[in-house]
Amino acid sequence: MAGRYSEILGRALKLYNEIPYQYIADSPTIRFYTDWSVFDKYRVSEAQYPCEDTAEGEYDLVISGGCVRSRGRSGVRVKPVVRSDLDSLDPDSPLFKLVRIEDSKIYAMHVAGYSAGAIIYIDKDLDEPLRIKIAGGSLHGHLAQHVSIVVGEGVYAKIQIATEPAENALRTTVEEITLMPGARLEISNILRNSPRAPSFHASHYLLLEGSEVMSGLSAIAGNMSRIQQRAVVEGRGARHMAFGAAMGGGENRVHYIENAVVRGRDSRAVLNVRGIAADSARTVVQAFAIQEEESFGSGTNVEAATLTIGRGALAVTLPMLEVRCGDVVEARHAASQAILDVDVMTYLRSRGLSIYEAVKLMTYDYIVEPFQDLPEWMVPDLVNNIYNELDKIDFESLKIL
């Protein structure tokens, strides 16, 4: 493997054996919410993961195991990239440009173990979403899948990414998304994780002048799921709006983080995250924004909330805001933690509803709330991903009343 990518993979493998998943400086308040010991049961893969069959359906791009399949879309250029293709990439390609492998052992593991992915250039407006499916992971081992997307200058794009559970593999998935000046993106991430294996998902955004992102994320926890989205709002007048929800049921665990670094003048970031913990699950949601010294006239609004269903569940809320600029127009943050209202539950039971029916009725608005500001095409799938998961919970045994 020649050139830049040979050097990157070699450096990543070296760092994987040397650095921790998190540094002490990460703050003791958040350091142990992700149980990294589960990840240590897997070793980095240095070979391409096998291909796995999956139904393509209406998807424009399918990454399944170590293989990539795509079909043409007007205004979209897709370059499939499996591990053996890395030596042929242009050194200036966007792959790994937004990822800092020295930040964490998990990033080093992902890059060193890269198996399959794609580089996508969106050059024209998309009225219908570009649909991407990420699947595979039936074999034990490490499966690293990656998508790098560039939305062209002034282009309006829609993207939906559906990630299926990797039943037996540790899956690491990374999305890198660059918005050129004036670009607008609506993106939906729907994640389902396996109760038998840990998973890591990261989305990295770079917003240049006048660009805008509307992001929705809906996640079901697995054995130990770490989910993090980070936006660097670099350009003047850029706007990043992120709305998400994560749910843990059974004994599953999830640590979901939304992060924005605001640098551009007159730019804005809104982070609104929700978490649900049911049965014996552990759900941690964190929203963190920084307004840098140069972000004159910028605004941030950070909200995080959790809902606990059942006495054995644990939900943690962590909103944080750091303002380094003395001239901003908005800097807000809020947090809430709630359990199901017993009085409302008792009333609904008295009206003939079962515990199951009452819980679903009481949680529906809570699930919908973070998504209500998103475009209509995104909302049903984001809501149903979590709402339908409630069907798997035995509410009678949770001793809610």
Q: Report the SS3 class of residue 242.
A: strand
pLDDT at 47: 85
Task: Please name the residue ranges forming H helices in 165-209.
Answer: none
Name residues whose C-beta falls within 8 Å of residue 42's C-beta, 6 or more positions apart in sequence.
141, 142, 169, 170, 198
The domain ranges of the chain are 3-340
Identify whether the C-beta of residue 251 lies closer than 8 Å to the C-beta of residue 394: no
Total Cβ atoms within 10 A of residue 350: 8
Task: Please name the residue ranges forming H helices in 85-206.
Answer: 105-112
- Token pair for residue 140? 């034990």
pLDDT at 395: 76
Residue 251 predicted with pLDDT over 90: yes
Q: What backbone phi and psi angles, to 5 degrees, belong to 354?
A: -75, 165
Q: What is the residue whose two structure tokens read 């391409």? A: 48
Question: Which of 101, 100, 132 has its CA nearest to residue 116?
Answer: 132
Report the alpha-carbon distance of residue 280 to residue 285 in Å, rounded.
Answer: 16
DSSP code per residue over 203-241: EEEEE-TT-EEEEEEEEE-BSSEEEEEEEEE-STT-EEE
**pLDDT (average), residues 142-152:** 98
Determine what percent of the chain is predicted with pLDDT higher than 90: 77
Which residues are 21's β-sheet partners? Answer: none
Mean pLDDT check: name the lowest of 35-44, 157-166, 249-258, 339-348: 339-348
At residue 31 the predicted structure's pLDDT band, cuts being 50, 70 and 90, is: low
Mean pLDDT of the chain: 92
Report in angstroms the alpha-carbon separations of 80 from 77, 130, 348: 10, 15, 53
At residue 348 the predicted structure's pLDDT band, cuts being 50, 70 and 90, is: confident
**pLDDT (average), residues 276-293:** 95
Helix (H) or strand (E) holding 79: strand 76-82
Q: What is the residue whose two structure tokens read 């127009």? A: 329
Task: Please name the residue ranges forming H helices in 297-354.
Answer: 342-350
Report the alpha-carbon distance of residue 139 to residue 154 in Å, rounded.
Answer: 42
At residue 392 the predicted structure's pLDDT band, cuts being 50, 70 and 90, is: confident
At residue 1 the predicted structure's pLDDT band, cuts being 50, 70 and 90, is: very low
Question: Which of 192, 315, 284, 177 has its CA nearest to residue 240?
Answer: 177
Report the alpha-carbon distance of residue 262 to residue 256 in Å, rounded.
Answer: 20
Question: Which of 248, 287, 242 has its CA nearest to residue 268?
Answer: 242
**pLDDT (average), residues 62-83:** 95
At residue 214 the predicted structure's pLDDT band, cuts being 50, 70 and 90, is: very high
Residue 237 predicted with pLDDT over 90: yes
What is the tally of helices (H) and strands (E) in the chain? 5, 19
Sign (positive or negative) of CA dihedral 382, 383, 386, 392: negative
Identify whether the C-beta of residue 295 lies closer than 8 Å to the C-beta of residue 264: yes
Helix (H) or strand (E) holding 380: helix 379-387
How far does CA 242 lie from the centroid of its chain? 10
Q: Report the SS3 class of residue 378.
A: coil
In the 8-state DSSP scheme, what is residue 49?
P
Report in angstroms the alpha-carbon separations of 334 from 27, 300, 347, 364: 20, 12, 30, 21
Report the alpha-carbon distance of residue 86 to residue 63 in Å, rounded.
Answer: 16
Residue 28 predicted with pLDDT over 70: no
At residue 356 the predicted structure's pLDDT band, cuts being 50, 70 and 90, is: confident
